[in-house]
Amino acid sequence: MKNFFLLALAGVVAQLVDGSLGMAYGVSSTTVLLAAGVAPALASAAVHMAEIGTTAVSGISHSSFGNVDWSKIVWLAVPGGVGALLGALGLVWAASLESTAAYVEPAVAIFLFMLGIYVLSRFAFRRTERPIHVRPVPRAFLSPLGFVAGFLDAFGGGGWGPIATPTLLSSGRMEPRKIIGTVDTSEFVIAVCASIGFLFGLSLAEVPWSIVGALFLGGLIAAPIAAYIVRILPTRIMGTAVGGFILVVNANTFFGAVGLSSSLSTVAFILIIAVWITALAFAIGARRQEQEEAAEGQTA
């Protein structure tokens, strides 16, 4: 029972971050499950099955607050669903082979570690926000983005938001709140397709339903709250915190995968902590500077 509530709490935190930042539910939840010793395929399956419920509630909540651009949903979600189905099948297939099973967890850890670096650098080390000029996003851009993000999301246990949200933000063509709401709402299709893929390769008895239930309960509580605060949450600071969290939790597995010695791993881990603290300080300072500049502009 204690573990159930701890997992539910992890689901609350993950959904608060995902719903307000447009990323990190899958990455954060999978990171926690892998650290607890859950097999990669089972961890990703549990997360995506829980996400069927949490993304539905999140999408409804975002839509009610006007955070969704429905013209982008089909072109992003349908290719993403195809990619998620293939990614789930690929992960189950890889985990079922004795010759490759030992490499699945390190491969997933490397993938999550790379995502952590990307999220941290993307949100922490920018002096000013990039200007937004709202204009159409080409379908030829949305569909490949959806497919790649969906595939990596299912195969790595997370990646839809960390790939789709920053990429759309970098285009400068959509309001941040519209990007977050659209990506979160599209994720329902990705969760359904990934879950179908996992059920092709896993029996119902193998699915850790207690984990699914705990994550779903936590996400259900947090989804409406996250959608409500999406306009006022300091996304720079939250993104920096999530990126550092992913790096810290995946560090040991990543170091083992790349063959670092124990002494070098210790030094690298301390360095990661130092970089994370520095990034948080930089993000907080940049946030304050933006607020001061905005206040001075209003005064002028």
CA–CA separation, 122 vs 153, rounded Å? 19
Torsion sign, CA atoms 189, 191, 193, 196: negative
Tens-digit pLDDT profile for residues 33-80: 777 777 777 777 888 788 888 888 888 888 888 888 898 899 999 999
Residue 259 or 75, more confident:
75
Range of the domain at 14: 2-299
pLDDT of residue 189: 93
Tokens of 295: 């206040």
Q: pLDDT: is 157 or 160 the higher one?
A: 160
Looking at per-residue confidence, does 145 or 260 come out higher?
145
CA–chain centroid gap for 167, Å, is 13
Residue 99 — very low, low, confident or very high, per pLDDT cuts 50/70/90?
very low
What is the separation of C-alpha 185 from the centre of its chain, rounded to a whole number of angstroms? 13
pLDDT digit string, tens, across residues 277-292: 988 888 888 778 777 7
Residue 187 corresponds to which tokens in the numbers above? Answer: 């994720």
Q: By CB neighbour count within 10 A (0-12 exposed, 13-18 middle, 19+ buried), where does 1 fall?
A: exposed
Residue range 101-118: mean pLDDT, rounded? 68
- How high is the pLDDT of residue 271? 92
- Tens-digit pLDDT profile for residues 174-207: 777 788 889 889 989 998 998 888 888 777 667 7
Over 80: is that where the pLDDT of 273 sits? Answer: yes
What is the CA angle 281-290-277, rounded to 5?
10
Q: State phi, psi for 259 to the nearest 5 degrees.
A: 80, 25
With a cut of 50, say whether residue 101 has pLDDT above it.
no
Is it the case that residue 261 has pLDDT exceeding 60? yes
Distance CA 41, CA 92 (A): 6
Contact (CB, 8 A) for 252 and 262: no
pLDDT at residue 96 above 60? no
Within 10 angstroms of residue 229's Cβ, the number of other Cβ atoms is 13
pTM of the predicted model as reported, rounded to 2 decimal places:
0.68
- Rounded mean pLDDT, 196-221: 78
Q: How confident is the model at residue 98 (pLDDT cuts 50, 70, 90)?
A: very low
Q: How many domains does the chain have?
A: 1
pLDDT of residue 85: 92
Query: If you average pLDDT over every residue of the chain, what do you get?
Result: 77
pLDDT of residue 108: 64
* CA of residue 261 relative to chain centroid, distance: 30
Phi, psi (rounded to 5 degrees) for 245: -60, -45
Tell me how far apart the 2 most distant CA atoms of the chain are, in Å: 68
